[in-house]
Chain A
Amino acid sequence: MDEVRIGVYVCHCGFNIAGVVDVKKVAEYAKTLPGVVVARDYVFMCSEPGQDLIKEDIKNQNLNRVVVASCSPALHEITFRTAISEAGLNKYLLEMANIREHCSWVHHEKEKATEKAMEIVRMAVAKARYLEPLEELEVEAKKSVLVLGGGVAGIRAALELANYGFDVYIVEKSPTIGGKAALIGYIDPKTKGAEVVSKMVEKIRDCPKIQVFTSAELVQLTGSAGNYVAKLRLNPRFVNSRCTRCGECEEVCPIEVSNEYNFGLDKRKAIFIPFKNAYPPYYAIDYRVCVKCGECEKVCRYKAINLKEEAKIVELRVGAVIIATGYDPYRPFKGEYGYGLSPNVITLFQLERLLDPESPTKGELIVGNKVPKSLAFIQCVGSRGTTLGAKSYCSRMCCTTAINSAIKIKEKYPEMNVYIIYKDIMTYGSDESLYEEAGKKLINFIKFEEKIPKVTISPEGLFIDVFEYTIQQEIRIPVEAIVLSIGMLPPRDIEELIAVTRVSCGGEGFVREAHLKLAPVEAPTKGIFLAGCITGPKNILESIRMGSAAAAKAMSLLSKGKITIEPMIAQVDEERCSGCGICVAVCPYSAISIKSVNGDRIAKVEKALCMGCGTCNASCPSGAMQHLGFKDVQLLAQTVAALRGESYG
């Protein structure tokens, strides 16, 4: 091997690092480390001039390893890899020393932080000495995408992808696509949720590139970007496309359950159509509640029902996955603001159903058993840490939705007294016009802060006691109906989603994106994209735009038909391998097999299957199996450097 020539670049990151760590001292110290020929500091290493410093040194000083002491590799490893490769160095001859997230941002004592930063750099330099050039692998990529979730975000993504010429599979767990947006009466003063959704669904119907799987779940996802294998379970619908929606089956069905598509406002049968414009446009049997009495099958004149249908497993090969499985509405507990104790206390989602002309009340706002003379919205139910068990975040859409609905109510029932009891009105951006409009419509806004409103249910009626913050007075409002503006929760089955797709969650329980600001539609795993409320509360427009963006990113990844995969995978030293086969047993991807080479048993790694976890390396008794980029010698060098400051080897 050539002489090791390492350049060390210490970033100030403005004050982020330099405010705590003495960066000059770190750079000076780095110069004393074995193998280091140059060390510099600069205000922003990741900026163009910073990168140029590194590139110039590679050329002028013949560097063959680079250590950048700055932020987490999660943020800028790719940036600096690209930079050094532009200067002609193999991009894997880079090591990042994380002195920001792991040092300057968590330690405040300057001396100790500087000392730690010096040691982190020492560790990185020690590892860098053992880095080797690696070559990326190129594999074929499938021009097809799996879209999980058939709400507006997923539908938008599918339509975009089909437009780019990709094959798209939508996987929706319920019997219809459309999601919750289809159930929102009005999503803005002029637009009905159901209308927008049915226009989108029409396009899906007319698009041969899109295949829709309803009542379906993703049960297994293997492979990697460009080449995923998705195993779907298609739960039985028991009704096929011969169904004419005549409805006779529904009449004879003896099973009645709460109708989740009207948020429990009414009941539905076990055989049902979720809503008017549901797609596919025929009946479905809820396999979870059906008792298979056979009445529907008997009455169906079109032979559209087959109760013997069973769940099927389907395997799809796709290049990328877009996760757009949305959210669940917050579930208020019994007694929360009187919820569940009075028929006059409903949720915002139930109100949305009532305002829909297709609702059980045909658009009449009947709460309990009549149109109330007065109605109050209580905001932040389940959000902003307001009530017991509430989430810490703002659910983003509830203020606008409540105000929009209040305006609709006032248009229809001008005499009704409408109150909105809130903490802060979150009509951000252009939605502010709705807030203004609500004021003109004489909707009453009542603000509270720490002290949460109290709902009393008495024979005299409903009362809300609230400490009105702007006038600093306790007031009591008698109302005939209360609407709880419930927020958003991560979907109930997010655990299964995590288990299957290996995405991870942030503290609030939603899926974490690769970067909150600059990569909002990408998951940290290459080939997995995110759209809509799965990453946190959004409104419908924002979800739709995310759908477009996620599709664009997936398209960009796959459009060349080829994809590069990281070369940090397992490699066998055939001389050392004894063919014991332990690695074969531990490999979670069946990427290793034992081959006979000139009569010797030797492990062989199938490069395209190896995901680079390194568990074979840890279990190899002879040290023949090595995880490239994380070889024993590299990790031990780091360990020793952390403890002794001497070189390893």
Chain B
Amino acid sequence: MADFEPKIIVFACNWCTYAAIDLAGTSRLSYPPNVRVIRVMCSGRVDPQFVLEAFADGADGVIVAGCHPPADCHYIEGNYKAYRRFELLKRILESFGIEKERFRLEWISAAEASKWVQVVNEMVSDLRRIGALKPKLEVD
């Protein structure tokens, strides 16, 4: 599967990660075009259902990204709420047989454009290695 190009859905908080992705642009960094970014105001807005929906609809990977704990969150503690939800979701995903490489919860501050690039690079290469998500629930 040398030519496999994974598709990754990213839920990025407006204040830190979305700004970091913008900064990657203004700094003219370069990364593979496999990511599709959905802007939310806070990582605490991301419903675990969105992640499940993304996998069900064919995403090969999902990233939820927000502001660094403890205190970067624009809404005081939305990042902690995301943390609690998605640590739990990780276990559920594993029980579905979805490999742990396919889901990442990341803290990327507005200044960390290079971290964003690194996360994308890592995930794309991980997913290229493990291949497309096999639809487990498919009938026949």
Contacts and interface: CB of A to CB of B under 8 A. Distances in A.
Question: Does B bind A?
Answer: yes
Question: Dominant SS at the B interface?
Answer: loop
A563 interface: no
Nearest to A75: B22
B44 A614 contact: yes
A498 B41 CA distance: 18
B29 A106 contact: yes
Interface stretch (B49-57, B92-100, B122-130): B49-57
A173 interface: no
B74 A106 contact: no
A588 B29 contact: no
Given A102-B21, A107-B33, A524-B15, A495 B45 contact: no
B40 A630 contact: yes
B110 A618 contact: no
Contact of A613 (B16, B45, B57): B45
A520 B2 CA distance: 47
Interface string A99-119: 011110111110011011001
A507 B57 contact: no
A103 B98 CA distance: 29
A617 interface: yes
Contacts of A512: 19, 110-111
Given A107-B33, A502-B74, A639-B53, A568 B41 contact: yes
Given A613-B45, A613-B78, A617-B45, A113 B33 contact: yes
Interface string A612-648: 1111011100000001001010011011101110000
A33 interface: no
Contacts of A115: 33
A257 interface: no
A613 B42 contact: yes
A585 to B, nearest CB: 11
Given A102-B37, A643-B58, A615 B42 contact: yes
A505 B109 contact: yes
Contact of B36 (A120, A502, A589, A632): A120
Given A632-B47, A644-B58, A106 B25 contact: yes
Nearest to A506: B111
Contacts of A588: 75-78
Contacts of A525: 74
A37 interface: no
Contact of B54 (A109, A112, A643): A643
Nearest to A627: B45
Contacts of B15: 502, 504, 524
Contact of A617 (B30, B33, B47, B74): B47
B25 A639 contact: no
B38 interface: yes
A105 B26 contact: yes
Contacts of A499: 70-71
Contact of A505 (B31, B85, B111): B111
B35 to A, nearest CB: 8
Nearest to A127: B38
Contacts of A586: 44, 81
Contacts of A102: 21-22, 25, 37
Given A107-B30, A618-B85, A123 B36 contact: yes
Contact of A119 (B36, B42, B74): B36
Contacts of B75: 588, 611, 613, 615
Contacts of A108: 30
A612 B41 CA distance: 7
A612 B13 CA distance: 12
A498 B57 CA distance: 39
Interface string B99-136: 00000000001111100000000000000000000000
A119 B35 CA distance: 11
A78 interface: no
Contacts of A112: 33
Contacts of B58: 643-644
A72 B22 contact: yes
Interface string A568-608: 10000000000000000010110000000000000000000
Nearest to A111: B33
B103 to A, nearest CB: 14
28 contacts: A72-B18, A101-B22, A103-B33, A105-B28, A106-B29, A107-B31, A107-B33, A113-B33, A119-B36, A123-B38, A499-B71, A502-B15, A507-B113, A512-B19, A589-B76, A613-B44, A613-B74, A614-B45, A615-B78, A618-B45, A618-B81, A630-B40, A632-B49, A636-B50, A636-B53, A639-B54, A643-B7, A644-B57
Given A619-B81, A635-B50, 17 more contacts: A101-B24, A101-B25, A102-B21, A102-B22, A113-B33, A123-B36, A499-B71, A502-B15, A504-B110, A505-B110, A506-B111, A524-B15, A588-B77, A614-B44, A618-B85, A636-B50, A639-B53
The 10 closest A-B pairs by CB, nearest first: A101-B25, A614-B45, A499-B71, A615-B44, A613-B75, A105-B25, A642-B36, A613-B42, A588-B76, A643-B57
Interface of B: 7, 9, 15-16, 18-19, 21-22, 24-26, 28-33, 36-42, 44-47, 49-50, 53-54, 57-59, 67, 70-78, 81, 85, 109-113
